[in-house]
Amino acid sequence: MRVVIQRVSEASVTVDGQKTADIQKGLLVLVGIEDADTQEDIDWLAGKIIKMRIFGDENDVMNYSVQDVDGDIIVVSQFTLHASTKKGNRPSYIKASKPEFAIPMYENFVKAVEKEFQKKVQTGIFGADMKVSLLNDGPVTITIDSKNKE
């Protein structure tokens, strides 16, 4: 499971002209799912995301988590995080899970983040053509792969 975490001043997701998510200070989390992912990956990532200290304290040192700053979270599914660009110029998405596996995993991921966060998480719509808008704060952008814990 791969995630891209972006610290934002604001972010929103729009589908067919309707906003499905809209936050101010917080995190925009893009998540890509592959068939090798398990509940263990979900739980590990959810804990990591919520506890990650990437918000500035009174000295502008990154010491606070999204919970500490009373921020919000948007989670958006993004199969393109598993793009393979090894051959040619057209990415291959062979490692990205098909919807029958990915949808339940995505839903479990959102639930796990909410459980860790102890707060409702906003989302996009799985598989939809989404327009994601954000104002990256910092910019702070972090990628995590649950199969390559660094």
Residues 6+ apart with CB under 8 A from 90: none
Is 109 among the residues known to form the active site?
A: no
Q: Which one, of 131, 107, 99, 129, lies nearest residue 28 by Cα?
A: 131
Strand partners, 15: 18, 130
Given the residues 6, 78, 122, 123, select the one marked as catalytic: 78
CA atoms of 42 and 64, how far apart (whole Å): 22
Is 78 among the residues known to form the active site?
A: yes
Is 55 among the residues known to form the active site?
A: no
CB 26 within 8 A of CB 46: no
| Strand duo 130-145 + 122-123: pairing | unpaired
Given the residues 24, 38, 39, 80, select the one marked as catalytic: 80
Given the residues 55, 79, 109, 117, select the one marked as catalytic: 79
Residue in the structure block whose two tokens are 């704060």? 137
Which residues are tagged catalytic? 78-80
